[in-house]
Each structure stands twice: as C-alpha cells, then as structure tokens.
Structure 1
Amino acid sequence: MYEPNVVGDWHEYDEHAGLRVRVHRLEPAEPPRGRDDAAEGLTYFRLRITAENRGSRPCGIHLEDGQIDVRTGPDGEAAFVDWRSSQFIEGYDLYPLRRATAVVYAAAPEASLALVDVQIQLRVDDEWTDRRLWTGGIGVVEETVGANAAGCGGQGELAHQVADFLRDQAGPGTTG
C-alpha cells in the first residue's frame, strides 16, 4: 500500500522519468458556464491537476473524464463532477520544462467538503499509469493550524492521519 498524497504535493512517476503530477488549489468556486441543475443544493468547488515534464524528451499526456474520481466526506461519497464546465488535458504533447493543467469543477454537500479525495489515472504515451490519490479539504489548513498550538503539522499531519487510518483498515500483518 502507498501513502496518499496531500493536495498540493507532487507525485513523480518512476516509469516516466521526469514526469510529475499534482492536485492543487482545492477551493470553493462557481463554474464559468453556470450551475448544472443536477447540482441543486450542493456547494461547488474547483481543483486543478497539473502535469509537469522535467525530463529530457516530450511525452503525450491524456487526462479527461473517467480518469478522475472525486469523493467527499468520511464515507467517500461521490461528488458531482461538472464535466461540461471542466477543462481537461486531451492528447497533449508535454515538452521538457513545460506544464499542462486541467481544471475540474465538482459539487458536494457543504458539510462533506472538509475531506476531499481525488484519484487520478494519467495516460502517458498511450500507457496507463497507476492510480494515485490526493487527499485534502476545503478549510482544512485553517482548522488544522488553528487547532495546533505548536504551529507544525498542517496538511502533512492530515496525510499521516489518512495513512494510519488506511493501515488500520487493512488489518494486522500488512505494512505500508
């Protein structure tokens, strides 16, 4: 089992030298094309997924609907992803020292936005990468820092809490 990434952390792919990805800027936001009727009563939020090529050769990347799963709350309920308003990376040649960013709009009950999990599976040069998970939440940084008198921890502490929880769920005899 691997530890999940925290929203904002970069994940480097061993099988694609120099390629790294991160989920970041998890924030409340209204979609640019207006609200979808299916999201009635839900709170919209936006996240960005950035791929960066730090390698020496270009690579073709693909990240669209079906490769992104957004879950919220302690029970991992599926968020409504507004595919119409989101912007994806579709068949893009990412050259060295360049980035490409997808912007995803989603909606969920406001009470569940303190815990948001984003799982992505990037396609690189027509090969599928392993699925990777980022975890965070809207308002998590402020709450964590305010509750932490020593001033350390922050979102890194959230990642350790999630990893500990996943280890506990896996049962005895498994290692991370």
Structure 2
Amino acid sequence: MYEPNVVGDWQEYDEHPGLRVRVHRVEPGEPPRGRDDAAEGLTYFRLRVTVENRGEQRFCVHLEDGQIDVRLGPDGEGAFIDWRNSQFVEGFDVYPLRRVTAVVHAAGPEADLGQLDVQVQLRVDEEWTGRRLWTGGVGLPGGAGSVPPGPDHDNLAHQVCAFLRGQAEEGTA
C-alpha cells in the first residue's frame, strides 16, 4: 500500500491503464430505508466510491461488500457498514469516458467521525487490484490542501493535507 490519498483524490491503477478510483463526498446523512437496529447510538454518514475509465477499452468492475473497509478515530475501530442501505457495483462494464459509483452508508461514534480511513480493493475483469487508502473525516472538505486550520489541526486528514501541500510547494520551487 502506498501513502494515503486524501478523500477526493483520484488514484490510478498501473495494471489497468486509464482506470482510476476515488473516495469522495464523505458527509453526514441517514440511510434511505431507515436505521439498522445494530447502529443504535451511532451517527450515520455516507461516502461515495467512484470508478472512472479514461482508457480505450472497457473494464468489468466489481465493488461489493467486503471490498470497502471503513475505520474511524485514532484507534482505527471498524465503522458499522449498513449493507442493506448501501449501493454496490456488481459486475458493471465501465466503458471509456464513463463512471460508476458505489454509495456506502456507515455509522460510528460521533466523536470519531473527524478521523476516517477508507480502504478499497477493486476487482477488475476478475482480477484483484492492489488496495488503496484514503483518509479524511465527516464534514471536512474533500481534496488535497483544503482542510481548514483550526481545532482539528491534530487530526490525520489535516496532517496528510499539510504533507501534500509541502510536497507540492517543493515541486514548484
């Protein structure tokens, strides 16, 4: 696994030219078909995982339960994933210049939602890709360098953003 991406960043797959994926739109929100009883006392949120094909051939993409892992807080506790309300990608042909998106509904303790890690492993044309990791938090703006300074300055998303900003500044100097 490589250094983590910030929520909103695209990650390309070398083994599948033109195919890229991102975790984005991490936001609070109740599931459409009601709360799962197992999530009592937890705060719901949702995130989107989008696969885009910028290549010249089609890819058959699988992004189902078990291929997305969500961890919360400083100890990396597993989030409750509401499989019944989530929308996965099951064997969808993604043609050139097209996208497909999975929507995952999850829940966790409200105090831990500011630090979130999402690990994704796609299955493309019946082959497993390498795992990719994104970091961010519920309610934080997505994209590199966009986490505002303030009381959250110690959370992991802010640290990753600061690191990426520093790398970008070094590259332009």
- Residue 10 of structure 1, CA deviation: 0.2
Q: Which residue type is aligned with residue 75 of structure 1? A: D
4+ residue runs over 2 A deviation: 139-144, 155-158, 160-163
1:83 — aligned with what? Answer: 83
1:147 aligns with 2:150: yes
1:159 aligns with 2:173: no
2:118 — aligned with what? Answer: 118
Deviations 1:68-105 (A, max 9, x none): 10000000000000000000000000000000000000
- Residue 139 of structure 1, CA deviation: 3.1
Distance 1:161 1:83 in 2: 34
1:102 — aligned with what? Answer: 102
What TM-score do the two structures reach when normalised by structure 2? 0.84
**Contact 1:4 1:162 survives alignment (8 Å):** no
Unaligned ranges ≥5, structure 2? 165-173
Q: Which residue type is aligned with residue 148 of structure 2? A: V
1:64 — aligned with what? Answer: 64
Distance 2:47 2:134 in 1: 11
Percent identity between the two aligned chains: 69
1:30 — aligned with what? Answer: 30
- Residue 120 of structure 1, CA deviation: 0.7
Distance 1:67 1:82 in 2: 14
Distance 1:109 1:130 in 2: 29
What TM-score do the two structures reach when normalised by structure 1? 0.83
Q: Which residue type is aligned with residue 34 of structure 1? A: G
Greater mean deviation of Cα atoms: 21-30 or 131-140: 131-140
Distance 1:85 1:120 in 2: 18
Q: Which residue type is aligned with residue 83 of structure 2? A: W
SS of the aligned residue for 2:38 comes to: helix
Distance 1:115 1:156 in 2: 7
**Contact 2:121 2:132 survives alignment (8 Å):** yes
Q: Which residue type is aligned with residue 136 of structure 2? A: G
Deviations 1:32-82 (A, max 9, x none): 010000000000000000000000000100000010100000000000000
Distance 1:94 1:66 in 2: 21
